[in-house]
Chains A and B, each alone.
Chain A
Amino acid sequence: MATRYMLVKIICDRKLTNEQFHELLKNATIRYFGELGTSRIDPRIMKFDTASSTAIISCNRDAASELQSALALVSDYAETPVSMLVLRVSGTVKGTTKQRK
C-alpha cells in the first residue's frame, strides 16, 4: 500500500514524549474519523525528536488529507494548549527533511 510521510512540528509549552504524542495522534484521528477511519488512515510515528519537537509520521497515501485535517484540529493535550503544523508531505522519509527551495 502506498504511503505518505509528513514532517510535523509540535507547538507546546512543555516537551511531549513519544508516548504522549502517540496518544495525541491516536485520539485526534479517532475523534474526527472514528475507529474505522483511523484504520484506513493507518498513522504511524516513524521518528520523534523531543529536543526539536518534530516528528515524521507515515500514513496511507489515500488518507493523507484526513490525517492532516485531524492534526489541524488538535488544540490541547491534558489541558495544555497544543498545535501541530504539517510542514512537509512526501513519498519518502528523506523527502520530508529536504530544504524547501
Chain B
Amino acid sequence: MGEYLDLHVIPPPEDTKVCERMAELLRAAHYSTVGVTLTTGLLNERVRSIRRIFEERGVSTVLRADFNPSSRTELLRILRRFRNAYDVIAVRCTNQKAATVACRDRRVDIVFFDIADRNLRFSHTFARLLHGAVEFNFVSDMVRNSWAFSKIRKAILIAKEHHSDVVLSSGAKDQWMVRSPLQVRALAITLGLGEVASMRGVSSVPLAIVTDNRLRRSSDYVEEGVKIVVHEGR
C-alpha cells in the first residue's frame, strides 16, 4: 500500500482537543503526511505545538498557507514574502486576474476554487495555464451541499481532459470532516476522474509537491535541476 497525503487539513489553533482527535483519526485512516493549514499571523510557538500534536500521533506534517489575493499585484507580493516560509503555497482563486497569475506562476503549488463562487470556476483557460496542481476539497465542499456535485464534476472533467495534476483533499476543519484516502479517492472516481488519476491525487501528486518543496527549501538547493552533492572539505 502506498503513502497517503491530505494536504488540506485546517485544525482550529485554539482548540487542542479537536486537533488531537483529528490527528488520531488521520492516523487511523492511514495518512502518513498532512498539510496543516494555519493563518500567517499565528505565533511560531503555537504552530510548533500544533504540528507536535500531529507528529506525536505518527502523522508527519507540512506547513501550508492558503492565500486569497484580490489582485495580481497582491498575489505577487504575497509570493515574494511567503514562498520560502511555507512548505506548500495554495491560492484560493476568487479573482480572474489573480487566478490567471496563480495558475501560471511556478511558485504556486496548488490552486483551488471556491465552489460557492458563481463568477469564477475552474475552466479550460485555467487548465491550459496551470503549472502546479488543482485541488478539490471534497468533504468540506460536498457534505451538506448536494448542489456542489455538478460543479465539482464539471471541474473534474476539465482537469481530466487537460491531464492536469489533481490533488484530492478533505479540507477538514474538525474531527467530523476527516475521511480516509480510500473514500476521497472513491468520490473522485464516482465523479468521473478515473481510477489512476484519483489514486495519484491522494498519493503521488501531493507527495511530489512536498518532496520538491523540501528539496527547494534545503540548503543544498541551488536552482531547478542543480543541487550541492558534496560540500568542500568533507
Contacts and interface: CB of A to CB of B under 8 A. Distances in A.
Contacts of A64: 186
A81 B173 CA distance: 14
A100 B144 contact: no
30 contacts: A65-B186, A65-B189, A66-B190, A67-B186, A68-B183, A68-B185, A69-B187, A69-B190, A72-B138, A72-B179, A72-B183, A72-B184, A72-B186, A72-B187, A73-B143, A75-B144, A75-B176, A81-B176, A82-B176, A83-B175, A83-B176, A83-B177, A85-B28, A85-B29, A85-B183, A86-B180, A87-B29, A87-B180, A87-B182, A101-B1
Interface in B182-214: 182-187, 189-190
Interface residues on B, range: 20 to 34
Is chain B's binding surface mostly helix, strand, loop or mixed? helix
A55 interface: no
Given A65-B186, A85-B179, A9 B28 contact: yes
Nearest to B143: A75
Interface-centre pick from B30, B178, B179, B185 (highest chain A CB count, 10 A): B179
A71 interface: yes
Contacts of B138: 72
Interface residues of A, number: 22
A82 B178 CA distance: 11
A57 interface: no
Interface in A63-101: 64-69, 71-73, 75, 81-83, 85-89, 100-101
Given A65-B190, A75-B144, A100-B1, 17 more contacts: A11-B25, A11-B176, A64-B186, A65-B186, A68-B186, A68-B187, A69-B183, A69-B187, A69-B189, A72-B179, A73-B142, A73-B143, A82-B176, A85-B180, A85-B183, A86-B183, A100-B30
